[in-house]
Structure 1
Amino acid sequence: MDELMNHIANLLGAVALIFWGTYMVKSGMLRTFGMSLRTALSHGLDNRFKGFAAGFCLSSLLQSSTAATLLVAGLQSEGLVNTLIAISCIFGAELGSAFVATVLSLNLAVIAPILILIGVVMFFHYTPSKRQGQFGRIVMGLAFIMVAINQIVVSTEPLRSSADLAPFFLLLHDYLILSFIAGMLLAIGCVSSLAAVIVSSSLYAAQVLDYETAIWMVLGANAGSTVLALSTTMFASSVGRRGPYATSFFRALIIALALFVLSVGLPNSIKLPDNVVLFHLSFNALVGLLGLLFIKPLSALIEHCLPNIQTDPTIYSDNKKLFVQENFLSVGISLSVAKKNLIKEIEGIRLLWGDVDTLLRLNPNPGDVMLMRNKAAELVRLNRSLSLFLNRAVTPSLSSYEAIQWQNMKSVNGSLKSAVNLIDHTIEVINEGKCLKHLDFSPEGLRELRESHQIVLSSIETLHAYLSSTDAKEKKELTEKLLAHQKRLLTAAREQTHLHLLRIANDDVNAIETDALHLEIQSLFNRVAGLICASVNLELERV
Structure 2
Amino acid sequence: MDSLIVILALVGAISLLLWGTHMVQSGVQRAFGPRLRTVLADTLDNRIKALLAGIGITVVLQSSTATALMATNFTSAGLIGLLPAMAVMLGANVGTALIVTLLSFNVAILSAPLITIGLILFRLDKDSRRHDLGRVLIGLGLMLLALHQLVLALEPVAQSTEVMTLLGLLGAMPLVAVILGTLLAWAMHSSVAVVLLVGSLATHGIVGHESALLLVLGANLGTALNPLLEAGDKSPSARRMPLFNLGNRLLGLAIAWLALPQISVALSAMNLPDGADVAVFHLGFNFAMALIALPFLPQIAVWMCRLLPDRQDAADPAQPIYLDHSALDIPMIALGGAQREALRLADTLEAMLNGAREVLVHNERKLLAETRARDDVLDSLNTHIKRYLAQVDEDDLGEDDKERLHRILVFVMNMEQAGDVIDRHLLLHATKRLKRGLLPDADNEEELTAILDRLIANTRTAASLFVTEDAQVARKLAEEKALFRRVEQDATTRHFALMRDGVTAASQSSALHLDLLRDLKLANSFVVAAAAYPVLDRAGELLPSRMASTIG
1:287 pairs, out of 279, 286, 289, with 289
Preserved contact between residue 343 and residue 464 of structure 1 (Cα < 8 Å)? yes
Shift of 1:92: 0.9
- The amino acid that maps onto 2:82 is T
1:256 pairs, out of 241, 254, 264, with 254
**Matching residue of 1:317:** 318
Shift of 1:110: 1.1
1:226 pairs, out of 224, 228, 234, with 224
Preserved contact between residue 52 and residue 89 of structure 1 (Cα < 8 Å)? yes
Please report the RMSD computed on the Cα atoms of aligned residues, expressed in angstroms.
Answer: 2.9
- The amino acid that maps onto 1:519 is L
Shift of 1:284: 1.0
Q: How far, CA to CA, are the matches of 2:409 and 2:278 in structure 1?
A: 51
Matches for 1:286-435 after TM superposition, within 5 Å? 286-309=288-311, 316-319=317-320, 321-326=322-327, 329-330=330-331, 332-366=332-366, 368-393=367-392, 395-435=394-434
2:194 pairs, out of 193, 196, 206, with 196
Deviation per residue, 1:220-266 (Å, 9 max, x gap): 1111111123234446543233222212222223213433x16xxx6
Deviation per residue, 1:134-165 (Å, 9 max, x gap): 21111111112212222333333443331232
Q: How far, CA to CA, are the matches of 2:446 and 2:351 in structure 1?
A: 20
- The amino acid that maps onto 1:374 is A
Q: Which moved more, 1:21-30 or 1:484-493?
A: 484-493
Deviation per residue, 1:483-528 (Å, 9 max, x gap): 34333433442355357658x84576xx477455333323322322
1:533 pairs, out of 525, 528, 535, with 528
Q: How far, CA to CA, are the matches of 2:391 and 2:487 in structure 1?
A: 38
Preserved contact between residue 469 and residue 535 of structure 2 (Cα < 8 Å)? no
**Matching residue of 1:173:** 171
Preserved contact between residue 26 and residue 396 of structure 2 (Cα < 8 Å)? no
Preserved contact between residue 82 and residue 301 of structure 2 (Cα < 8 Å)? yes
Q: How far, CA to CA, are the matches of 1:23 and 1:383 in structure 2?
A: 30
Shift of 1:79: 2.3
Closer/same/farther in 2, CA of residues 390 and 457 from structure 1, 3 Å limit? same
Preserved contact between residue 164 and residue 207 of structure 2 (Cα < 8 Å)? no
| Relative contact order higher in (CA < 8 Å, ≥ 6 apart) | 1
- The amino acid that maps onto 2:151 is V
Closer/same/farther in 2, CA of residues 57 and 235 from structure 1, 3 Å limit? farther
Q: How far, CA to CA, are the matches of 2:281 and 2:507 in structure 1?
A: 88
**Matching residue of 2:26:** 27
Preserved contact between residue 359 and residue 430 of structure 1 (Cα < 8 Å)? no
Q: How far, CA to CA, are the matches of 1:51 and 1:542 in structure 2?
A: 35
SS at match of 1:208: coil
Q: How far, CA to CA, are the matches of 2:74 and 2:122 in structure 1?
A: 30
Closer/same/farther in 2, CA of residues 334 and 438 from structure 1, 3 Å limit? same
**How many residue pairs end up in the alignment?**
530
What TM-score, normalized to structure 2? Answer: 0.87
Preserved contact between residue 59 and residue 93 of structure 1 (Cα < 8 Å)? yes
Deviation per residue, 1:202-225 (Å, 9 max, x gap): 222222221121111111111111
Unaligned runs of 5+ in 1: none
Shift of 1:465: 4.1
Identity %: 27
Q: Which moved more, 1:409-418 or 1:92-101?
A: 409-418
Closer/same/farther in 2, CA of residues 530 and 229 from structure 1, 3 Å limit? closer
Closer/same/farther in 2, CA of residues 396 and 279 from structure 1, 3 Å limit? closer
**Matching residue of 2:450:** 451
Shift of 1:359: 0.9
Q: How far, CA to CA, are the matches of 2:464 and 2:20 in structure 1?
A: 43
Q: Which moved more, 1:179-188 or 1:513-522?
A: 513-522
Q: How far, CA to CA, are the matches of 1:135 and 1:353 in structure 2?
A: 48
Shift of 1:272: 3.5
Q: How far, CA to CA, are the matches of 1:427 and 1:490 in structure 2?
A: 15
Closer/same/farther in 2, CA of residues 294 and 171 from structure 1, 3 Å limit? same
Q: How far, CA to CA, are the matches of 2:393 and 2:261 in structure 1?
A: 52
Q: How far, CA to CA, are the matches of 2:236 and 2:434 in structure 1?
A: 42
Preserved contact between residue 237 and residue 321 of structure 1 (Cα < 8 Å)? no
1:148 pairs, out of 146, 149, 165, with 146
- The amino acid that maps onto 1:98 is A
- The amino acid that maps onto 2:292 is L
Q: How far, CA to CA, are the matches of 1:311 and 1:487 in structure 2?
A: 44
**Matching residue of 1:273:** 267
Q: How far, CA to CA, are the matches of 2:233 and 2:123 in structure 1?
A: 37
Shift of 1:462: 3.8
Q: How far, CA to CA, are the matches of 2:108 and 2:523 in structure 1?
A: 64
Deviation per residue, 1:176-226 (Å, 9 max, x gap): 222222212221222111222122222222222211211111111111111
Preserved contact between residue 83 and residue 299 of structure 1 (Cα < 8 Å)? yes
**Matching residue of 2:81:** 82
Deviation per residue, 1:272-328 (Å, 9 max, x gap): 423222111111111111111221111111122233447879x63221642433365
> Which consecutive segments of 4 or more residues in structure 1 shift more than 6 A?
310-313
Preserved contact between residue 338 and residue 390 of structure 1 (Cα < 8 Å)? yes
Q: Which moved more, 1:85-94 or 1:279-288?
A: 279-288
Preserved contact between residue 43 and residue 53 of structure 2 (Cα < 8 Å)? no
Closer/same/farther in 2, CA of residues 225 and 408 from structure 1, 3 Å limit? closer
Matches for 1:118-137 after TM superposition, within 5 Å? 118-127=117-126, 129-137=127-135
SS at match of 1:319: coil
Deviation per residue, 1:10-32 (Å, 9 max, x gap): 33322222111111111221222
Preserved contact between residue 119 and residue 138 of structure 1 (Cα < 8 Å)? yes
- The amino acid that maps onto 2:97 is A
Preserved contact between residue 112 and residue 143 of structure 1 (Cα < 8 Å)? yes
Preserved contact between residue 30 and residue 401 of structure 2 (Cα < 8 Å)? no
Q: Which moved more, 1:272-281 or 1:150-159?
A: 150-159
Preserved contact between residue 338 and residue 385 of structure 2 (Cα < 8 Å)? yes
Unaligned runs of 5+ in 2: 269-276, 540-552
Closer/same/farther in 2, CA of residues 435 and 490 from structure 1, 3 Å limit? closer
- The amino acid that maps onto 1:196 is V
